[in-house]
Structure formats: C-alpha cells, structure tokens
C-alpha cells in the first residue's frame, strides 16, 4: 500500500477524472453492442447474404459515431492528464497498437464490403469486421483488468513491468468477460432491432452467451473485490461502492437472460447496458486517485495530481465541455431515434450490396 501521498486533488481534477470515466462508460455501452454485432455476423449471418446485410444495417447508421466516444476519451485524457496518457502510450504501445489495428479493420470492412458484388469479397470484409471487433474488446478488457490490479511505475513515472506480465489470470478473465459481455450485448441489440428468424436466433444466442457472461462476471467481481480490494487504494476506500457495482453488474447479466427468455428485448438491452455500466463504474472506483498505477517508489507516484494539466487548462476544458457535450449527446440521441425501427430480410431488396 502506498504510504506517501501528494497533495489532495483539486475539484477540477476530480471532475475531469469523472468525465473521463463517463466517456469510457459511454464508449463501452455504445461500442460494446457494435463489437458484439460485428462479431456475430459470421455466426448469425451464416451463408445468407440478406441476413448479413440486415445484421450490418442494425449498426450501419451509428457505428462510426459510437467510435467518437473513444476518440473523445483519449483526447480528454491527453488534455486533462497528460502524464497518464504519456505513460500509457509509451508503456503499452503494442496493446494500443492492436486496438488501433482492430479499429482500422472494422472501418475498412464496413466501408468497402459493398464496393464489389463478389461473395468472396464481402465474406472477407465480414471476417475483417469480426476480427476487428474481437481485438479491441479482448485487449481493452485485459487492459482495464490490469488497471484494477495496478500497473507498476518507476521513479520516472513510466511503466516498470514487461509486456507479458499483463497476461495474468485476472487480466485474462477480464478480457474474456469483455468479449462475452459485448457478444451478449450485441445479440440482445440484434434481437431488439430485427424481426423474424434473425430475431429468434439472436435471442437464442443471447440466452446461451448470457450464462457464460454471468459466470465470468461473478468470477471477475469476486476477484476484483477479494484479491484486489478497493481498501488498498490510499486515496479512497471504495469497498462498498465496488461491491455494490459488482453485484449490480451480475444482476444486470442475470436480468438480461431473464428478459430475453421472456421476449422483452428492450428490457434485456437495458439490462446488458446496466451490466456494462456497473462493470466500468467498479473499475474506475478502484482507479480513483491512483489512475490504476502502483508506484515502485512511493516518493514519485503517478496519480491524479502528478499526471494532471494546469488549473487553467482544466478550467478552459470545462467551459468547452459544458458547451459542446450536450450538443453531441442530443445529436446522437436524435440519430438513434431516427433509426429506431426494426429490420428484417424483407427490407433488403434483391441485388442490394
């Protein structure tokens, strides 16, 4: 446990830590079902081009907008906590590069699959979209589990552990949990947005994947709170909050299974969304103050105060956020309202790309 602390964080430092957390929560909630939908294209689409087209169309109008949350989270981290950003990108270059590769594959796949009519061409890009969704989900799950465990930093405020040390058992459970949770989130979203056979098969997949997700969620929550308890955090003892968030995440997955079984697609989607929300809340409660780092030299910690920008920078950023964030949220909510109707293969004309 760290025994030497820097000065208490300012109000704006706390505000921007919370805003970064909110941005990640929004990203995982929205992009989580995007990842799940793309990973399910070969599973639910099988050999039927119309089915694949319907699955892709469920996220077609919004997937690129959802990715903006990741860019905003990264930009906010860079501007508000440059020390945090610099240490991550220097010490975790390869994992972050894999995330970037996945995002590039997804973008290229969605934009280029309709450029030619050949079935092999489309199937290749569908596979690229699935792999490009699996990579970020797995890598980010492993990464955030390591934040819970605590990444070691040296006196130079850079990471002081090797690449392979990231693949510890707890982190691997975190990676598998993110993949399984996003698959369930995506399957429930497909069921919410479609009719007919695709809807029924998406429900069937969600019923199975939710059980796997439930087991992984229970394992992750227990390990997070017993092996890496929030009471070890010298900045804030969030033990009660991490337990509450963990229990709600477990209940969210269980409720998603129950509502899916009852054919209540909207409630099932809200339940998987709750699970995502509470999972990430529990992680950020554990990260408060320490930013997910454990200093090897307590006299030189990388934390919410040492990684922060100047008070003036935070003040200007706050003004900009108050003006523009509501506009972005309103626009995104409007876009989902416009594309709210369900789809089926009957909506895909013959010869459509």
Query: Which range of residues forms the domain containing residue 184?
Result: 11-339
- Residue 204, domain member (yes or no): yes
CATH of the domain at 316: 1.20.1630.10
**What mean pLDDT, rounded, does the chain reach?**
90
Alpha helices (H) in 40-168, listed in sequence order: 41-45, 49-59, 63-80, 82-91, 93-112, 119-149
Q: Which pLDDT value is given to residue 300?
A: 83
- Residue 220, domain member (yes or no): yes
Number of domains into which the chain is organized: 1
- Band the pLDDT of 347: cuts 50, 70, 90: low
pTM equals 0.91
- Residue 279, domain member (yes or no): yes
Q: What average pLDDT does this structure show over 91-100? A: 90
pLDDT of 271 strictly over 80:
yes
Q: Which pLDDT value is given to residue 6?
A: 55
- Residue 4, domain member (yes or no): no
Q: Which pLDDT value is given to residue 29?
A: 94
Q: Which pLDDT value is given to residue 350?
A: 62
User: For residue range 123-132, what is the model confidence (pLDDT) as tens digits?
Assistant: 999 999 999 9
User: Which of the 8 DSSP states describes residue 8?
Assistant: P
Q: Is the CB of residue 186 less than 8 Å from the CB of residue 40? A: yes
Q: Which pLDDT value is given to residue 38?
A: 94
Residue 220 host element (H or E) = helix 197-226
- Residue 352, domain member (yes or no): no
With H, G, I as helix, E, B as strand and everything else as coil, classify residue 303.
coil
Give the percent of the chain with pLDDT over 90. Answer: 63
Q: What average pLDDT does this structure show over 166-172? A: 94
Q: Which pLDDT value is given to residue 65?
A: 84
User: For residue range 32-57, what is the model confidence (pLDDT) as tens digits?
Assistant: 999 999 999 999 987 677 888 889 88
- Residue 351, domain member (yes or no): no
pLDDT of 1 strictly over 50:
no
């Amino acid at each position: 446990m760290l025994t030497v602390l820097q000065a208490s964080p300012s109000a704006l430092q706390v505000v921007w830590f919370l805003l970064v957390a909110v941005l990640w929560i929004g990203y995982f909630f929205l992009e989580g079902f995007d990842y799940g939908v793309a990973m399910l294209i070969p599973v639910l689409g099988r050999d039927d081009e119309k089915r694949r087209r319907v699955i892709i169309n469920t996220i077609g109008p919004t997937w690129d907008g959802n990715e903006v949350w990741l860019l905003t989270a990264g930009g906010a981290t860079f501007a508000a906590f440059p020390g945090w950003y610099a240490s991550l990108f220097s010490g975790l270059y390869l994992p972050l590069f894999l995330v970037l590769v996945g995002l590039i594959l997804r973008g290229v796949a969605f934009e280029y699959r309709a450029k030619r009519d050949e079935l092999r061409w489309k199937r290749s890009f569908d596979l690229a979209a699935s792999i490009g969704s699996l990579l970020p989900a797995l890598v980010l799950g492993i990464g955030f589990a390591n934040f819970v465990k605590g990444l070691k930093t040296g006196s130079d405020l850079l990471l002081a552990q090797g690449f392979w040390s990231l693949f510890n058992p707890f982190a691997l459970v975190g990676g598998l949990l993110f993949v399984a949770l996003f698959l369930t989130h995506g399957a429930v979203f497909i069921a919410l947005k479609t009719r007919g056979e695709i809807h029924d098969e998406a429900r069937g997949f969600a019923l199975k994947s939710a059980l796997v997700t439930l087991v992984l969620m229970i394992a992750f929550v227990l390990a997070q709170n017993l092996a890496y308890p929030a009471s070890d955090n010298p900045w804030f003892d969030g033990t009660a909050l991490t337990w509450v968030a963990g229990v709600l995440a477990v209940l969210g997955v269980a409720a998603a299974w129950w509502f899916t079984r009852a054919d209540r697609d909207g409630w099932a989607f809200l339940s998987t969304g709750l699970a995502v929300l509470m999972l990430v809340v529990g992680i950020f409660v554990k990260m408060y103050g320490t930013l997910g780092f454990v200093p090897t030299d307590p006299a030189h910690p990388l934390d919410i105060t040492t990684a922060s920008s100047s008070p003036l920078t935070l003040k200007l950023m706050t003004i900009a956020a108050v003006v523009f964030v509501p506009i972005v949220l309103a626009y995104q909510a409007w876009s989902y309202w416009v594309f709210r109707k369900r789809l089926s293969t009957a909506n895909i004309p013959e010869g459509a790309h």
